[in-house]
Amino acid sequence: MEITSEQIRQEAAECDARKVEQARRMSGAEKLRAGAELFEEACAMSLRGIRFHHPEWTDEQCRRELTRRVLLQ
């Protein structure tokens, strides 16, 4: 069975609705913790991308580039 783009959109909308409901049930502390975890995951993902595009860079150069991007410099 082939999945249509409409089915994908519907599933994404349902997933979004579940995430919103889950967030509404979270305490303020849980939301802060979740935000920090998302930030860490985003940084790790970005760092992997930087390393992929610049395999010749050292870890320090990659971390400096990540910092530059996070600070929007």
Q: How many domains does the chain have?
A: 1
pLDDT recorded at residue 1: 79
Tens of pLDDT, residue by residue over 26-53, are 999 999 999 999 999 999 999 999 999 9
Residue by residue, DSSP assigns 3-54 as PPHHHHHHHHHHHHHHHHHHHHHS-HHHHHHHHHHHHHHHHHHHHHHHHHH-
pTM beyond 0.85: the answer is no
Q: Under a CB-based contact definition with an 8 Å cutoff, are residues 46 and 71 in contact? A: no
Domain enclosing residue 33, as ranges: 5-70
